[in-house]
Amino acid sequence: MADTDIKGLKVAILVTDGFEQVELVEPRKALDAAGAETAIVAPKRGQVRGWNFTDWGDEQPVDMTLADARPEDFDALLLPGGVINPDQLRTQPEAVAFVAAFVEDDKPIASICHGPWTLIEAGAVDGRRMTSWPSLATDLANAGAEWVDEQVVVDGNLVTSRKPDDIPAFNRQMIALFGRAGTSQGAAPQGP
């Protein structure tokens, strides 16, 4: 189906230490299997360490530092959750600016669990219908969003989901959204 063709689509995955492991690994697997080109973007070089539900999890290699990443080189953005990860990212001006650039350019964004915290800081939730981990409901409402307790919510170029149990539905809607954007925007320009 044309609206789910993401072959060659460049997707930035913005994380730092403490991302919920399954919320990075499973969506990335789905994106890669569908033909997207994914890159882990992080504030530091080397590795970022996941959180595996109740304890530290596996490390993932950083493909590009936040300082070196250019939003214009990507077609879409994935914001995994975990409590630690977005809580740290939302306090880093470079991370907030990176997310805000996707918002300003109307590029598709997929965010799960606590990931919307970074969207709040980027000024991206006012007037949006969205979901998240339930503890973010008040934060999102205070920032102008309509929070709903649903497995996955698509509002324009934004797809949100609540928790790891929702990942299969999240992945389907993320790929569909990214595919629609890829066919309407074309691939990101190639750098020198």
- Catalytically active residues are 113-114
Single-letter amino acid, residue 45: R
- Name the strands in the sheet holding 64-65, side by side, starting at the edge strand that comes first in the sequence: 64-65, 37-42, 10-14, 76-79, 109-112, 158-161, 152-155
Give 136's contacts (C-beta < 8 A, 6+ positions apart).
Answer: 114, 116, 117, 147
Residue 47: how many other CB atoms lie within 10 Å: 14
